Amino acid sequence: MSATAVAFPNIALIKYWGKRDEALIIPQTSSLSLTLDVYPTTTTVTLLAPGAQHQVLQDGEPMPQQAAHKVSRFLDHVAGLAGSQHPARVETSNAGPTGAGLASSASGFAALAAAAASSYGLELSARDLSRLARRGSGSASRSIFGDFAVWNAGSDDVTSYAEPVDDAHIEAAMVLGIVNAGAKPISSRDAMRRTVETSPYNAPWVETNPTELALMRGALRRGDFTEVGEITERNALRMHAAMLGAVPPVRYLTAGSMALLDAVADLRQSGLEAYATMDAGPNVKTLCRAAEAPAVQAALGAAAPDIEFVIAGAGPGVSVSNPTVGDTGPGATR
Ligand code: 2P0
Task: Give the ligand 1 atom nearest the CA of 11.
Answer: 20
Q: Which of 74, 142, 279 to mutate to test the pocket of ligand 1 (most atoms within 8 A of CB)?
A: 279
Strand partners, 292: none
Partner residues linked to 19 by β-bridges: 27
**Structure confidence at residue 99 (pLDDT):** 65
User: What gap in Å lies between CA 182 and CA 97, rounded to an integer?
Assistant: 7
Which residue's CA is the nearest one to ligand 1's atom 14?
188
Maximum Cα interatomic distance, the chain, rounded to a whole number of Å: 64
CA gap 54, 251 in Å, rounded: 35
On whether the CB atoms of residues 117 and 132 are closer than 8 A, the answer is: yes
d(CA 192, CA 190): 6
How does residue 182 score in pLDDT terms, banded at 50, 70 and 90? Answer: confident
Give pLDDT tens digits for 268-313.
999 999 999 999 999 999 999 999 999 999 999 999 999 999 999 9
The 3-state DSSP class for residue 131 equals helix
CA of 286 to the centre of ligand 1 (A): 18
What is the whole-number distance in angstroms between the Cα of residue 106 and the centre of ligand 1? 8
Per DSSP, 25 falls in state T
What residues line ligand 1, using a CB cutoff of 6 Å? 12, 15-17, 25, 31, 105, 137-139, 188-189, 279-280
Residues 6+ apart with CB under 8 A from 82: 120, 121, 122
The pTM of this model reads 0.95
Taking the CA of residue 189 as reference, the ligand 1 atom at the shortest distance is: 9
Q: Phi first, then psi: give them for residue 148, nearest 5 degrees.
A: -85, 135
Cα three-residue angle 139-93-59, rounded to 5 degrees:
140
Q: Band the pLDDT of 260: cuts 50, 70, 90.
A: very high
* CA 271 to centroid of ligand 1, rounded, Å: 32
